[in-house]
Amino acid sequence: MSLEPVTASPLIAGIHHVAIIVSDLAAARRFYVQALGGEELAAHYRAERDSWKMDVRLPDGTQLEIFTFPQVPKRPSFPEARGLRHLAFRVVDLDAVVTRLGDYAITCEPIRVDEFTGARFTFCSDPDDLPIEFYELC
């Protein structure tokens, strides 16, 4: 099957946020704020839901909404399940990212090259095994 590109008037200006449910807010803070360098904007406990919500801003203004909920099922990743496949971050220096993550004992897959764009990329997992991709700008 071949898909032809479609050009249309843009209705979407960009991504505002991506919501992630985690099992451990402290582990998520260590990964998304400390290791990756996101800016924690706020963290609020919502008693009526027994849930935390933490807002993290990325350098381009995009945000992550990080939630906890009691007794959430684990995300099926292997084999891959229908739905959001992974979260990918644009990076300028992939080697620096891999080194920084290593400083936090986070292991990345070997760096690969996108066969269509020639860009380098790698994956790691967040504390809840969500696949995270780092895609180097060419």
| Length, in residues, of the chain | 138
**pLDDT at position 84:** 78
Examine residue 44 and state whether it is found in any structural domain, yes or no.
yes
CA distance 25 to 23: 7
Select from 125, 127, 133 the least CA-distant residue to 23.
Answer: 127
Structure confidence at residue 38 (pLDDT): 97
How large is the C-alpha radius of gyration of the chain? Answer: 17
Any domain includes 42: yes
CA distance 20 to 40: 14
Does any domain span residue 106? Answer: yes
Q: Are residues 68 and 112 in the same domain?
A: no
The number of domains in the chain is 2
Q: Do 131 and 94 lie in a common domain?
A: yes
Which of 72, 93, 114 is the endpoint of a domain? 72
Q: Is residue 51 part of a domain?
A: yes
Measure the CA–CA gap between 30 and 22, rounded to whole angstroms: 12
Q: Are 23 and 128 in contact (CB under 8 A)?
A: yes
Full pLDDT tens readout for the chain, 138 residues: 778 877 777 777 788 999 999 999 999 999 999 999 999 999 999 999 999 999 999 999 999 999 999 998 887 777 777 777 899 999 999 999 999 999 999 999 999 999 999 999 999 999 999 999 999 987
Asked if 98 and 137 sit in the same domain, the reply is: yes
CATH number at residue 130: 3.10.180.10
Give the domain range for residue 118.
85-138
C-alpha 112/C-alpha 122 separation (Å) is 6
> What is the pTM (predicted TM-score) of this model?
0.86
Question: At residue 96, what are phi and psi to the nearest 5 degrees?
Answer: -65, -35
Whether residue 129 is contained in a domain is answered as: yes
Same domain? For 138 and 96 the reply is: yes
N- to C-terminal Cα separation, the chain: 29
